A and B are shown apart, each in its own frame.
Chain A
């Protein structure tokens, strides 16, 4: 979580300094969901993520150095500078991509899980999405499909209260995401998405259920997006008081206090924080020095048959 937080803070610095050319959606305040879920996963399990996907990537094992280089648009980036933040992917660790389309990862996760089962593998898929995705068709289609075909997939609804600039509660009818998942017949749990221990435990239970062949599951993890929708959104649609109130529930601060309660020294925590910061400073340095793509690269990786001339 400290590494995710540090990555996001440095991505902000890189954007503000004009070193990151494109849009970045930060997940500051939501780190416990990514960390708590992915701590239950193996390397060959799959994750499909969202436009706000840095945390999921790091938690799944992607390297911050190549991730940061991708944000900088460099050829040494995870995607050779062709995807940027919204498409960051690392297939070597089962990270099947962030996604620029809300709900875009749902079918990908279901399909990867269905394929794994067809191939006789034991791995599962996890799909992260936000509160906005539950109002899109693929949410219904994907959940229904997963139950119909008993697909080994965990859906994680990371509700950060905002569908872009709009409070999700004002655009979502009925009793919410969990009730929808229950109605379709998934095993569901709802936990405090800012409590990494609760997220870990609930995900552990659901993933055991899935690995046991008992069907897909759904985890609802409400949290709060402490920054704007994007790095250029100052979020004028909500009050400073509201944000300050939520800072008191900062999942990183919460984790630190729990660790201290369990006897971890403050100095140790500060040491971990410094280590995370140094790692990200190094990632920034690597990204800065990495080469940019050249014009010709725009013509590569499009397709094999009928490739651009």
Chain B
């Protein structure tokens, strides 16, 4: 946190933390507004609950199911002096607006020769979520986004970071993609009191350890902590790094931890092949030559039936297996 509060922290869900972040920023800055489907109803995860009452339909805009327009209206509005928060419901639906995000938003600053900033936030809740939603409602595509010059990519995993990073995202003058951890919206955590922000680009040590560094982010954090706990019981001390920002990512903190433990496991919910774990792995190898193991989903769509979905899922045992193998 950039600002530590002296008053007491509150326990709240990630969805509540997200809502509070937006409300605080909308109170602070009259040019902040949100657009997306079902926002007047509070959004499908409750992340906009009650905001229509405070801010009205001009600033909490419930839109048609028109993804490319939601994205591009937000873009145009960012060019015209406002700071829109573009809600895409879930990441999978944003694929209907990929032209607007990738061809227009991400490139605008460069393409126009720096004539304009593009201060907007695109919210893309991603991952398997509550489960059994099948292939078009369960994807994790951070690798595509991190690949794209022009975008800032955030992936918080706790209530405190959801709030602090969303506030930073809204204040950022670049287009920020916020990969809300869909499966964790209802999970609770301590949120500091007061008006704090979480700095973009800083990883967090979620658990300290000495034998192996486990780098993870977003929905997989609780699973990673579970695996670290199990490894600890087996005598392996695991340091868990919650990356939080995927672009820019905290190379310094990851490399420092890796240099100390001499072993790294990178785990993400997304498909392993071409995943962002590969970038981290390659960086660690190139920079300090420390061995890295990767854990990710097989390169298959997410199936509906529980056994199919579980085949896709990265669980604590799979991470534990990688930890044991690399420390053997």
A interface residues with partner B (beta carbon < 8 Å) = 46, 48, 77-83, 87, 89-91, 96-97, 99-101, 104, 106-116, 118-119, 125, 137-138, 141-142, 144-145, 148-149, 300-306, 308
Chain A nearest CB, measured from B154 CB (Å): 10
B103 touches A115 (CB 8 A): no
A80 to B175, CA, bound (A): 21
Q: Which of A89, A101, A111, A145 has the most CB of B within 10 A?
A: A111
Chain A nearest CB, measured from B174 CB (Å): 5
Chain B nearest CB, measured from A70 CB (Å): 8
Asked if B233 is an interface residue, CB under 8 A from chain A, the answer is no
Given contacts A89-B115, A107-B76, 17 further A-B contacts (CB under 8 A): A78-B115, A79-B113, A97-B112, A104-B104, A107-B72, A108-B72, A108-B75, A110-B73, A115-B76, A115-B78, A118-B77, A119-B82, A138-B72, A142-B69, A149-B61, A304-B172, A306-B248
Instruction: Give chain A residues whose Cβ lies under 8 Å from the Cβ of B253.
Output: none
Asked if B48 is an interface residue, CB under 8 A from chain A, the answer is no
A113 to B71, CA, bound (A): 15
Instruction: Give chain B residues whose Cβ lies under 8 Å from the Cβ of A301.
Output: 109-110, 113-114
Complex interface: stretch among B5-13, B124-132, B145-153? B145-153
A79 touches B64 (CB 8 A): no
B111 touches A111 (CB 8 A): no
A48 to B73, CA, bound (A): 12
Q: Which of B66, B76, B201 has the most CB of A within 10 A?
A: B76
B72 touches A111 (CB 8 A): yes
A110 touches B69 (CB 8 A): yes
Instruction: Give chain B residues whose Cβ lies under 8 Å from the Cβ of A97.
Output: 108, 111-112
Kindly state the interface size class of chain B when it binds its partner.
Answer: 35 or more
A125 to B104, CA, bound (A): 18
Give 15 A-B contacts (CB < 8 Å), ordered by A residue.
Answer: A78-B113, A79-B112, A82-B111, A87-B112, A96-B79, A104-B72, A108-B75, A111-B72, A111-B74, A300-B114, A301-B109, A302-B110, A303-B149, A303-B174, A305-B173
Specify the chain A residue showing the minimal Cβ separation from B117: A304
A306 to B80, CA, bound (A): 24
A91-B116, A306-B152 known; A116 and B80 CB under 8 Å? yes
A107 touches B174 (CB 8 A): no
A77-B113, A301-B113 known; A46 and B80 CB under 8 Å? yes
A108 touches B79 (CB 8 A): yes
Chain A nearest CB, measured from B69 CB (Å): 4
A82 touches B172 (CB 8 A): no
Asked if B247 is an interface residue, CB under 8 A from chain A, the answer is yes
Instruction: Give chain B residues whose Cβ lies under 8 Å from the Cβ of A91.
Output: 79, 112, 115-116
Contact pick for A115, options B77, B108, B114, B201, CB 8 Å: B77
Contact pick for A83, options B31, B111, B151, B201, CB 8 Å: B111
